[in-house]
Structure 1
């Protein structure tokens, strides 16, 4: 083995050591700084639920899940401190005497660091999830439906965090008949199919009435009964979202955000009016109508809820992100409106040129 090979192997060992360092930096120890705050919340929650031993019959919550998640975290930490660190130290030492052995040892250290980090991260997530699900389980009692805001107050969990936990619990089958309705201005949790079906039965007639095609008028408006199916679907979705966004804008105290959401709703209505008269462009508006606008309506409702609880740094950061997202949607709708008008302008200019050419060919117009 010549000196060049030895240098190459030394550089490989250095790269392996760097990977170990990167693996360590991926471990999230931010929860340690919040331990005091969490302890205070735990005491408050225990006092609020004192004497209430009943749990919800509609939630599957195992008290042992917290212990199992904690053991997983300890296993990951044990791998990091009792396997990874010794392997890294030994590997670095072997690089001097036996480069190949050092590289292999460092590679094993990297693998152990990755495995340990994953165990710690997974355990921390499962522990937090199990603890919050137990709070939700105890706060629900035997209710079949409850507003998310009310449940958050009783369980001592922030609304955005509670929505995430409920969504995960439903997807994992821990709330077997659960339905989370966050589309409207008031988020609701339904724990049985019967409660969910009852709500759907009450709202379905009004939705059917709203979706019925309006009769054609004698004016310039085109009756929706004459529109293609795609155009009707796009217009229905966009109109509903625009109304929700407008309602949220009226409830938001911050003038700039309220104005931005108002512009989004107004631009959506203008585009809907354009699509009403030009249904052939409905496909260009479909993504905005079926995804961007409903998502914006949901985020606007979240902003209205968080606005009154913006004391913590996390809430402030979330509100800032929401403001930036609203500005992006506002800009995107302006571009979409310009593109639709540009397409029409191109068609109009083409028609004008054809008309002029035919008039000139028929001798009915003089050339410039």
Structure 2
């Protein structure tokens, strides 16, 4: 399945290049019929697509975990990431944060969650495995706090822009005597 997702992302990249940089000798003109995946909008950037793919991976892994602390933390992570994606779709500057998150944070989280599942399903457990599983739970909770901060920061930038617009409009109205 991951290979199919990679193919979709690479196909999307090729289509974007063809659409934005057409060549006269290019016989494969961009067509919406070439891209038939309802999960992704044509407007979505590769960064947003990669984030959505990571959300799907975390959702899948979450369904395999039954833990009183980790399960709600993963649901919260998914929710935060979805908010970040929604923000980034409307505000391109949000993609910079998503790019950073996709480079290290999410792939590492996915790797840790896979290990957590392996540890939990291992027939014989030792103290090291249980300690590592607890550390994974703690780091996922800490990652959520970092993601929340990033989401607040994203919205802070928008808030500053709006406040600037308000100040300019007030000044112009005062200048016009209104």
Q: TM-score range by the shorter chain?
A: 0.7 to 0.9
Give the drift of 1:206: 4.6
The equivalent residue for 2:101 is 288
Distance 1:204 1:264 in 2: 23
Q: Which has the higher contact order (CA 8 A, sep 6+)?
A: 2
- What is aligned with 2:29? none
Give the alignment's TM-score, normalised by structure 2: 0.75
**Partner-residue secondary structure (3-state), 1:251:** coil
Mapping of residues 1-368 of structure 1, within 5 Å: 204-208=6-10, 224-225=42-43, 232-309=45-122, 311-363=125-177, 365=178
RMSD value over aligned CA atoms? 2.4
Distance in 1 separating the partners of 2:161 and 2:5:
43
Q: Using a 3 Å threshold, how does the CA distance of structure 1 residues 261 and 357 change in structure 2: closer, same or farther? A: same
Instruction: For residues 158-188 of structure 1, give each alpha carbon's deviation from its aligned partner in whole angstroms, at most 9, with x where no partner exists.
Output: xxxxxxxxxxxxxxxxxxxxxxxxxx7xxxx
Matched residues in 2 for 1:337 and 1:299: separation?
A: 23
Residue 273 and residue 315 in structure 1: after superposition, are their counterparts in 2 closer, same or farther (change >3 A)?
same
Provide the aligned length of Structure 1 versus Structure 2: 152
Contact 2:84 2:94 in 1 (8 A): no
Runs of 4+ in 1 over 4 A off after TM superposition: 206-213
Q: Is the 8 A contact 2:9 2:49 kept in 1?
A: no
- The runs of 5 or more residues in structure 1 that have no matched partner are 1-183, 185-199, 216-222
**Quick one: distance in 2 between partners of 1:206 and 1:237?**
11
Aligned partners of 1:234 and 1:285 also within 8 Å: yes
Secondary structure, in 3 states, of the residue corresponding to 1:311?
coil
Change (3 A) 1:210 1:319: farther
> Which has the larger Rg?
1
8 A contact 1:249–1:259 mirrored in 2: no
Q: How far apart are the structure 2 equivalents of 1:240 and 1:291?
A: 14
Are the aligned partners of 2:61 and 2:113 in contact in 1 as well (CA < 8 Å)? yes
* Alpha-carbon distance in 1 for matches of 2:5, 2:47: 20
**Which 5+ residue runs of structure 2 have no aligned equivalent?**
17-31, 33-40
What is the CA distance between 1:233 and its match in structure 2? 2.7
Q: Deviations over 1:59-86 (max 9, x none)?
A: xxxxxxxxxxxxxxxxxxxxxxxxxxxx
